[in-house]
Amino acid sequence: MSTGLTIGTLSEQAIALDNAYVARNYNPLPVVAASAEGAWITDVEGRRYLDCLAAYSAVNFGHRHPALVAAAHDQLDRVTLVSRAFHSDRLGSFARDLADLAGKEMVLPMNTGAEAVESGIKVARKWGHDVKGITTPNIVVAAGNFHGRTISIISFSDDGTARTGFGPFTPGFRVVPFGDAAAAEAAIDDDTVAVLVEPIQGEAGVIIPPADYLPALRRITRERDVLLICDEIQSGLGRTGATFASDRVGVVPDLYLLGKALGGGVVPVSAVIGNRDILGVLHPGEHGSTFGGNPLSAAVGSAVVALLGTGEFQERALTLGERLSDSLLQLVGHGVTAVRSAGLWAGVDIDPSVGTGRDICQRLLARGILVKDTHGQTLRIAPPLVVTGDEVDFIAHELARALQ
Ligand SMILES: *Cc1c(COP(=O)(O)O)cnc(C)c1O
């Protein structure tokens, strides 16, 4: 109900509207974006902030990257949606280029990350059923995982907040410690169809497993004829200094799950990528999505794949990531207890004596930096990959002052 009376600043008005009408399933920082370009967001009062969240890595290429905006504009003037009931002149070339980027043969196009994970689980179960005759399949997953928020996905989460009150849950998952390949191996039995992991756990706080973990999972899954599924929704597409985080340890999974940056921050685009012997288990009518693979998403997704094809973003993430991690490591012992990083992706554990993660986010907000805490005491720093060296120095400099 509107009273017609507006009081407070533009920010306060917008926040009050959100609080009144938007379900409270998030707890946003008190900043109201009005526009954005590259690595910077401008709020409704004209204040500028360096975006160090990049929409959880969906904005890896920066806000409104000219090539992505141009691809979207161009496609808006042609055709945006026909559903998969018909072909479009965009989907096939997008799927070919994305499959090439991943070194695979086929793509199953979806929209959100959670849908890609759900789809990967369905493909693995169907593969187990059709190829191995498994009727009661199980999938081995890692503790501390984050794969999205649907019922089946929270069914194998160990985050109490994400689960409490949402049961009953989907059976068929076995949770083992992250980083422990022997535990994964011990959990595999004749009914196991897949091992599903994030190569680096993002929401958990940029947790990097031992270098031999993923290679060991690869060897074990091959020996046991079980699929290895890598959820690269946050870790993939340049963030870690490689196209895929699994590239860093020389591992090629059977299925890649992609999302977030695949839509360039413009539209939701996700995908399951694999070879024909696996994705070929899907036949007409067995799985679907009205918007999955629509021409607008495919046009933007193709432009994203083209950006990654140059290697420029992977290279930037690598070199600027070293610069960021060098300066962040100097803060250990000065309000920071630990720093973990991979490319332009850092988890910074805040010493509780200087405040909570949320406190430091508030202080950084006042200093013109947008960053988000995860699990209470950890900041996850992930600026768009278009950030400059000076801006990377600005992050560490302002964090040092916010910790004082
Ligand atoms: C964000 C994320 C998802 C879920 O993506 P949504 O688009 O939010 O559904 C899944 N897996 C990982 C690793 C993620 O970071």
- Domains, the chain, ranges and CATH? 10-64+312-403 (3.90.1150.10), 66-309 (3.40.640.10)
What angle in degrees, to the nearest 10, is found between the helix axes of 295-309 and 91-102?
A: 30
Distance CA 175, CA 140 (A): 6
Ligand 1 pocket residues where CB is under 6 Å: 56, 112-114, 117, 146-148, 198, 202-203, 231, 233-234, 259-260
Span from the CA of 234 to the centroid of ligand 1 (angstroms): 7
* Ligand 1 probe mutation, 56, 260, 297, most atoms within 8 A of CB: 260
Bridge partners, residue 197, by sequence: 230
Q: How far is CA 250 from CA 97, 203, 216, 227, 239, in A?
A: 21, 23, 11, 17, 16
Which residue has the least CA distance to atom 11 on ligand 1?
Answer: 147
pLDDT score for 287: 98
- Gap between the Cα atoms of 241 and 316, Å rounded: 7
* The pLDDT value given to residue 1: 46
Choose the catalytic residue: 94, 126, 173, 260.
Answer: 260
Residue of 147, 149, 201 best suited for mutating to test ligand 1, as the one with most atoms within 8 Å of CB = 147
pLDDT value for 5: 61
279 close to 120: Cβ distance less than 8 angstroms: no
Give the number of the atom of ligand 1 that is nearest the alpha carbon of residue 235.
13
Measure the CA–CA gap between 317 and 180, rounded to whole angstroms. Answer: 28
| Catalytic option among 51, 97, 231, 254 | 231
State the distance from the centre of ligand 1 to the C-alpha of 344, rounded, in angstroms: 18
The SS3 of residue 164 is coil
pLDDT of amino acid 3:
53
Residue 7: the pLDDT is: 80
Q: Is 231 part of the annotated catalytic residue set? A: yes
Residue spans of the chain under pLDDT 70? 1-6
CA 216/CA 199 separation, integer angstroms:
12
Residue 172 gets the label, from left (phi > 0), alpha (psi -120 to 50) or beta, of left
Q: What is the pLDDT of residue 318?
A: 98
Kindly state the DSSP code that residue 97 receives in the 8-state scheme: H
